[in-house]
Amino acid sequence: MVSDNQENSLYIRTYKQQIEGHTHHYHQITIPLFGNIKMRINDEVMTVYYGEVLIIKKNTYHQFQANEDFRFLVMNVTGSIDRLLPSAEDTHFALDDKTLSYVAFVEKQLMSMRDANIEALMFDLLFELLSKLIYHNPIKKKMDARLYLAIQHIKKDIAARHSIQSLAKTACLSESQFKVIFKDYFDCTPYDYITNIRMQKAVALLLNTDKPIAIIAEECGYQSVTAFTRRFTQFYQHTPAKLRDGSHISSDNQITK
């Protein structure tokens, strides 16, 4: 449990299956990374799923419950959150695919290394992304619960050979329904989504571990280094080796020195 005596912070945590409750003197933003969390705030009961975010205002008593193997990204905010609240009631909303991609990047960084300066920068950028998302699209629809099941299935093992057929079955949808609902929410195909999160994991492993590229390729779902390098180069316009040699990923997926 994080102490109340702190500045802005960004971390990954889990919760317990037993119902717990408390208040804190800072605002808290909860973003599911895997699984969901049940919340009770001011007599309102809600479930926050992957693809969504919940803002808990300071000094607000709240109760929570989640499976212990579920993970959540938490932001403790000591300053104003006025930019995140278009109205007093709008504290639970959906994320867009770009913000979800950045959340995945933050998750990998926090799991692979701890650096106070980097964490402060990630906090500031995530806060800015959330504020712009809410300002430009405050009523974005929440993720379809059936789609959520498929996303959790993908994230549980991104190296697996996921097919439209298997994902649609997980979501209890026909293949055509699944593709339409997926594209409507994420604005990309399921295969593009899987490639994106595989590339994010690859970058995190290349930058933050000494694992051989062959092992990284396998962990990211590629059967050979050649196939992995080809897809990585298509995605970032440079090879995995060049990234590991000290290059950086720019905002438009270009690798630069």
Is residue 29 within 8 Å of residue 130, measured between CB atoms?
Answer: yes
Mean pLDDT of 112-140: 81
Sign of CA dihedral 132, 151, 29, 198: negative
Mean pLDDT of 217-238: 93
pLDDT of residue 230: 95
pLDDT of residue 3: 38
Mean pLDDT of 239-255: 66
pLDDT of residue 2: 40
Distance CA 73, CA 87 (A): 23
- Condensed to tens digits (0 to 9), the pLDDT of residues 62-98 reads 988 888 888 899 999 999 888 887 655 668 877 877 7
Task: Work out the pLDDT band at 247, boundaries 50, 70, 90.
Answer: low
- DSSP for 181-232, please give it: HHHHHHSS-HHHHHHHHHHHHHHHHHHH----HHHHHHHTT-SSHHHHHHHH
Distance CA 101, CA 213 (A): 23
Q: Give the CA distances from residue 22 to residues 4, 25, 32, 171, in Å, rounded to whole numbers and listed in that order.
A: 11, 10, 19, 35
Domains of the chain: 9-136 (2.60.120.280), 145-256 (1.10.10.60)
pLDDT of residue 59: 92
Mean pLDDT of 36-40: 87
Please state the pTM of the whole predicted model.
0.58
